[in-house]
Structure 1
Amino acid sequence: MKHSYPRSRFSFLLLVALSGSAFAQGTPEDYRLLQSSGPIPADFLQLSSQKYEQEKAAISRQEKSFEKKAKQAFFLKSSFLLHDLLYSGQVLFNDPVGGYVNQVADQLLAGNPSLRKQIRIYVVKSPSVNAFATNSGVILINLGLIAQLETESQLAFVLSHELTHYLKKHVMNQYVEEQKIEQGKRTYRSLSAEEKLLSRSNYSQELETEADLEGLATFLKSNYSTRQLNGVFDVLQYSYLPFDDVPFEKSFFETPHLQLPAAYFLGKVKAIALPSEVEETKSSHPSINKRRASVLGRINRDEASTKGDYLVSKAAFAEARQTARYELSYLYLSGLQYEKAIYHSYLLLKEDSTSRYLRKNVAKALYGLSQYANQGAYAQVHDAEADTEGCSQQVVHLFGKLTPKELNALALKYVRDLGKEFPEDTELPALGNALLKSLVLRHCESDADFATRPRAVEREAADLVANADTVDPEKRSKYQKIAITHLKKKNADSEQFIRYAFVDDFRDPAFSRAFGQHWKEKQASNQQREETTKQQRLRERGESQQKVRAAKLIRQKGAALGIDKIVMISPSYAKIDERKKKPIRYVASERAEVKLVEQIQCNARAANLVVDVLSDNTFTSADAGKFNDYARLRNWIRERVKHLDAAVPMHNSDAAGVGALVEKYGTKYYCWTGFVSVREKKPGKALALFTSMVVYPLLPFGIYYVVAPDYNTYYYSLVFDLTTGEPVFTDLQLIDRKNTRDVLNSTVHNTFYQLKNKR
Structure 2
Amino acid sequence: MINKGTLFFLCSCIVLLQSVAQTDFNRYQPLCSKGAVPKDFSNSTLSKIKQDNREDLKSLNGRKREFFVEQINYSIDEILHSGNVTFGDTISKYLQGLGDRLIAGEEDLRGKLRFYVYNSTEANAFSTRQGIVFVTTGLIAQLTSEAQLAFVLSHEIIHYQEHHVLDLFEYATKEKFYSYNEKARFLSNYSRENELEADRLAVKMVHDAGYKSSEINKTFDVLLYSYLPFEEMKLDAVYFNTDEMYVPEMYFRFKRNEISAKFKYNDYLMSHPNLAKRKEQVTDQVSKFKDWEKELLYEDSLQFFYIRDISRFEYVLNKVYSEEPVEALYAIYILEKKYPESEFLRNYKSQAWLDIMKASIKKETALYTSFSSLNRKRVKYYEGQISILNQFITVLPKAGKLTMGLRIIYDSYHVDTTNVIARKCYETAIHLLVKSDDFERSKFSTKNFSQTLAYLHELKQDTSSKSKLHAVEWDKYAVIENQSKGMTEDFGIDSTKFYMYGISDIIRDSSFTKTFRKFSDKKSVLDKDKDEFNLMTDVEQLNLEYFKYDEEIHLKMDSVLLFQPAIFETTNSSEIDVFKTFKTRDLVFKEIYDNASDLNIHVESLSLKNLEMLGAEDWNNYSMLQRSLTRAISDYENDYFVLDVVDLNRVKTKFGTEKLLFLEYQHTYAPDLYFGNVALFTVLLPVGLVYFPIAILSGHYSDWQFYVLDLKTGELVLDRSYYVNEPASKHNIGSRLNGMFHQLKQAKNEY
Give the TM-score of the pair, scaled to structure 1: 0.83
| Cα distance change, pair 549–707 in 1 and its aligned pair in 2 (3 A) | closer
2:318 is equivalent to residue 331 of structure 1 = yes
Partner of 2:392: 398
Match of 1:626 in 2: 618
1:676 maps to which of 649, 666, 672: 666
Equivalent residue of 2:436, what SS?
helix
Q: Are 2:564 and 2:608, in contact at CA under 8 Å, matched by a contact in 1?
A: yes
Paired residue for 1:563, among 548, 553, 557? 557
With over 3 angstroms needed to count, the CA separation of the structure-2 counterparts of 1:143 and 1:50, relative to structure 1, is same
**Does the 8 Å contact 1:151/1:309 carry over to 2?**
no
Which is further off, 596-605 or 338-347? 596-605
Alpha-carbon distance, 1:688 to partner: 9.3
2:28 to 31, 35, 39: 31
1:298 paired residue number: 285
For the pair 1:728 / 2:729, whether they are aligned, the reply is: no
Q: Distance in 2 between matches of 1:286 and 1:699?
A: 53
In 1, distance between residues paired with 2:288 and 2:677? 75
- Equivalent residue of 1:297, what SS? helix
Letter in 2 for 1:498: Y
- Contact map agreement 2:559 2:657 (CA 8 A) in 1: yes
The answer as to 2:245 corresponding to 1:258 is yes
Paired with 1:467 and 1:88, the residues of 2 have a C-alpha distance of 72
> Is the contact made by 1:721 and 1:728 (CA closer than 8 Å) also made in structure 2?
yes
In structure 1, the partner of 2:7 is: none
**Deviation at residue 549 of structure 1 after TM alignment:** 6.1
Distance 1:488 1:81, change over 3 A: closer
Read off the aligned partner of 1:405 and give its amino acid letter.
Answer: A
Mapped pair 1:508 → 2:509: yes
CA distance in 1, matches of 2:679, 2:324: 56
1:44 equivalenced with 2:41 (yes/no)? yes
- Which residue, 215, 229, 238 being the options, matches 2:202? 215
| 2:412 aligned with 1:421 | no
Aligned CA distance change for structure 1 residues 622 and 548 (closer, same or farther; 3 Å): closer
Distance of 1:120 and 1:648 partners within structure 2 = 37
Instruction: Give the distance between the partners of 2:549 and 2:228, measured in 1 at CA.
Output: 52
CA contact (8 A) 2:704 2:723 kept: yes
1:753 aligns with 2:742: yes
Q: 1:256 to 1:603 in 2, by over 3 A?
A: same
CA offset at residue 381 of structure 1? 6.4
Task: Write the deviation string for residues 547-597 of structure 1: whole angstroms up to 9, x where unpaired.
Answer: 566678x6xxx955332221111123222332xx46431211112213432
Q: Shift of the alpha carbon at 1:136?
A: 1.5
After superposition, what is the alpha-carbon deviation per residue over 1:635-670, rounded to whole angstroms, capped at 9, x for unaligned?
Answer: 1111112212xx575315433322321122222200
Partner of 1:388: 383
Unaligned runs of 5+ in 2: 1-19, 364-371
Is the 1:338–1:381 contact (alpha carbons within 8 Å) kept by the matching residues of 2?
Answer: no
Matching residue of 1:374: 361
C-alpha distance in structure 2 between counterparts of 1:37 and 1:690, whole Å: 62
Q: 1:355 aligns with which of 324, 339, 342?
A: 342
Distance 1:322 1:471 in 2: 61
Report what 1:280 is aligned to.
Answer: 267
- Aligned-residue CA RMSD (Å): 3.6
- Aligned partner letter, 1:175: F
Mapped pair 1:343 → 2:330:
yes
- SS of 2:110's partner is helix
- Residue 519 of structure 1 deviates from its aligned partner by 6.3
User: 1:679-731 CA distances to partner (integer Å, 9 max, x unpaired)?
Assistant: 232269976996798796x7753454356563233323221112223333444
CA contact (8 A) 1:678 1:713 kept: yes
From 589, 592, 607, the equivalent of 2:599 is 607
Identity of aligned residues (%): 22
Aligned positions of 1:31-180 closer than 5 A: 31-55=28-52, 57-58=54-55, 63=59, 65=61, 69-180=63-174
Task: Report the alpha carbon displacement of residue 85 of structure 1 after superposing the two structures with TM.
Answer: 0.9
Using a 3 Å threshold, how does the CA distance of structure 1 residues 295 and 740 change in structure 2: closer, same or farther? same
Flag the 1:708–1:425 CA change in 2: closer, same or farther, 3 A. closer
Instruction: Tell me if the contact between 1:349 and 1:358 (Cα under 8 Å) persists in the aligned partners.
Output: yes
Give the residue type in structure 1 aligned to 2:353.
L
Instruction: Give SS of 1:620's match.
Output: helix
Post-superposition offset of 1:194:
4.5
Match status 1:238 vs 2:228? no
Q: SS of the residue aligned with 1:118?
A: coil
- Whether the 8 Å CA contact 2:632–2:715 is kept in 1: the answer is no
Superposed counterparts of 1:309-708, under 5 Å = 309-310=296-297, 313-375=300-362, 384-385=380-381, 387-389=382-384, 391-444=385-438, 446-454=440-448, 455-456=452-453, 459=456, 467=467, 470-471=470-471, 490=485, 491-492=487-488, 494-495=493-494, 496-515=497-516, 536-538=534-536, 559-578=553-572, 581=573, 583-620=575-612, 622-644=614-636, 647=637, 649-682=639-672, 701-702=690-691, 704-705=693-694, 708=697
What residue is the counterpart of 1:13 in the other structure? none
Higher mean displacement: 306-315 or 481-490: 481-490
User: CA 1:227–1:76 in 2, change beyond 3 Å: closer, same or farther?
Assistant: same
Higher relative contact order (CA 8 A, sep 6+): 1
1:35 deviates by: 0.3
Gaps of 5+ in 1: 1-22
Classify the secondary structure of the residue corresponding to 1:91.
coil
Q: Give the match for residue 17 of structure 1.
A: none
How far off is 1:240 after superposition?
2.2
- Name the TM-score, length of structure 2 as normaliser: 0.84
